[in-house]
Structure 1
Amino acid sequence: MEGLNALAGFGVGLLVGLTGVGGGALMTPILVLLFGHAPAVAIGTDLWFAALTKSAGSVLHHGRGTVDWEVLRRLWTGSLPAALVTLLWLHVSGFDKLHHDGLLVALGGVLLLTALAMLFKARIHAIGQGLRTHTPVAFKRAQPALTVAAGALLGFLVTLTSIGAGALGAVMLVYLYPRRLTPARLVGTDILHAVPLTILAGSGHLLLGNVNLPLLGSLLLGSIPGVLLGAHFSTRAPDGLLRPVIAGVLVLVAIKMLLG
């Protein structure tokens, strides 16, 4: 099992480094559907998996200058407080322990939303470009508040399901910053945004007892080299091929979770 965990970690880490997508969206379903872990444990463990994996990838992106710090600050202003509020709700309600079926439905719903976002990313980008071209003053004026709101939504979804920081975050950013973020800066900014968010959410889940540390260790054995390799080749990744394939897999997994 340790070998299989490390192999799964390598594959997911490679996709994270290449595209900024695939962390929670693939690892949590793998842990639930293939390895048989409870949804809450899969979510808590994956948050730490994402935090440490993306920390490694973010080092390379930061060194290359592919991070937009102003956009990051806006995202964190929304996502980190939202994560804290969500953790408090989980603690008070016990939702993560008492409602396994509810967590599966939440996972399936966010996976489906993630897949749709990936499939329609180009269209959403085009809409953002149109607004930026035809109403530039109003669009730029709304960017800060909308980015904070996007961060808040991501903070809630990531803390509840461990999914959303990669694919959904990237789609939100290409809509809000259609000209400012190049593909490489989009991936770098998206990955770095997830690091403190997943550390915060993961710390909360650790206190709630939802993290399997031996499992986490075996996943990281594969993911760290995977994400470093992916980040190294991120500027040459066949994004037009990878995203539809990942999205198709996510749709199938989402249907499986929604149907129980």
Structure 2
Amino acid sequence: MSVSYIVSGFAVGLLVGLTGVGGGSLMTPLLTLLFGVSPTVAVGTDLAFASATKVAGTFAHRYRGNVHWHIVKHLCLGALPAAVLTTLTLKYFGVLDQEIGQIIRYSIAGSVMLTVIALIFRTRMQHWMNAHPGRQIQGEKLVVATIVSGAILGTLVTISSIGAGAIGATILVLLYPRLTPAEIAGTDIAYAVPLTAIAALGHWWLGSINWELLAMLLLGSVPGITLGSLVARTIPEKVLRVLLASVLTTVAVKLVY
């Protein structure tokens, strides 16, 4: 079984390296559907997995000047308290383990479908926003919208471990359409580090992290991400996005039915 976990970590890492989509969209459904891991343990373990893997990405993007720290601050002002409150809510209702597990399963499916929408329409959204500058919010309204978006993402990520990647990046495209793709990626990864870390600590407190499983996943994911990043430019981005969107749609349907 440990070999299967390492191979799965490699496969997810490879896809993340190829597409840039957060591993939670892939790892959490994989653990739930393929290995029969309970939804709560799958979410907790994936959050610890994400917090470990995103640290290196943040350092790399910071070195290249791709992180807008004022945006990170506003996202965290909403996301971090939301993650804590969501963890306390899960703890309070933890006695209804089966019902909570089912809710988390549906939350994962919904988050996966939001990721699919983000994959398909993110570029079009950015083009539309840049073509209609009058529709862009500014000043205090932009700050408030960023904090509220952070709160929504914090709740979503803590419940399902999905949302900090593709969904977060799509929100940044809508709120800050003038950012370059590299700046969107860097800022998205930077705010996700404290969010996934706090959410992971919450799940550790809840007892829903499998540390042995986490080690096996990390062992496979590091070479997978490296290889995917190296060969990404040889495969058309459109082909990758369509393939990934199809796979994620199938996963979401299987999670519900």
Q: What TM-score, normalized by structure 1, do the two folds share?
A: 0.90
Which 10-residue stretch deviates more, 227-236 or 103-112?
227-236
Q: Is the 8 A contact 2:129 2:135 kept in 1?
A: no
Structure 1 position 217, deviation (Å) = 0.3
Structure 1 position 141, deviation (Å) = 4.6
Structure 1 position 97, deviation (Å) = 2.4
Q: 2:51 maps to what in 1? A: 51
Structure 1 position 3, deviation (Å) = 2.1
Q: Is the 8 A contact 1:56 1:228 kept in 2?
A: no
Amino acid at match of 1:104: R
CA distance in 1, matches of 2:57, 2:230: 9
Amino acid at match of 2:16: V
Q: The residue matched to 1:22 in structure 2 has which SS?
A: coil
Structure 1 position 178, deviation (Å) = 0.7
Q: 1:257 maps to what in 2? A: 255
Q: Is the 8 A contact 1:78 1:151 kept in 2?
A: yes
Q: 1:38 maps to what in 2? A: 38
How does 1:97-136 map onto structure 2 within 5 Å? 97-99=97-99, 100-131=101-132, 133-135=133-135
Q: 1:159 maps to what in 2? A: 158
Structure 1 position 111, deviation (Å) = 1.0
Q: What TM-score, normalized by structure 2, do the two folds share?
A: 0.91
Q: The residue matched to 1:178 in structure 2 has which SS?
A: coil
Asked if residue 63 in structure 1 is aligned to residue 66 in structure 2, the reply is no
Amino acid at match of 1:41: V
CA distance in 1, matches of 2:230, 2:67: 15
How does 1:72-83 map onto structure 2 within 5 Å? 72-83=72-83
Which 10-residue stretch deviates more, 211-220 or 224-233?
224-233
Q: 1:184 maps to what in 2? A: 182
Q: Which runs of 5+ in 1 are unaligned?
A: none
Structure 1 position 236, deviation (Å) = 8.4
Structure 1 position 140, deviation (Å) = 4.7
Structure 1 position 58, deviation (Å) = 2.1
CA distance in 1, matches of 2:192, 2:175: 18
Q: 2:194 maps to what in 1? A: 196
CA distance in 2, matches of 1:28, 1:194: 17
* Change beyond 3 A, Cα 1:190–1:230: farther
RMSD, aligned CA: 2.2
Q: 1:210 maps to what in 2? A: 208
CA distance in 2, matches of 1:5, 1:235: 27
CA distance in 1, matches of 2:56, 2:225: 7
CA distance in 1, matches of 2:17, 2:151: 24
Segments ≥4 residues shifted beyond 6 Å: 232-237
CA distance in 2, matches of 1:54, 1:239: 22
Amino acid at match of 2:67: V
Amino acid at match of 1:166: G
Structure 1 position 163, deviation (Å) = 0.5
Aligned pairs, how many?
Answer: 256
Q: Is the 8 A contact 1:12 1:22 kept in 2?
A: no
Q: Which runs of 5+ in 2 are unaligned?
A: none
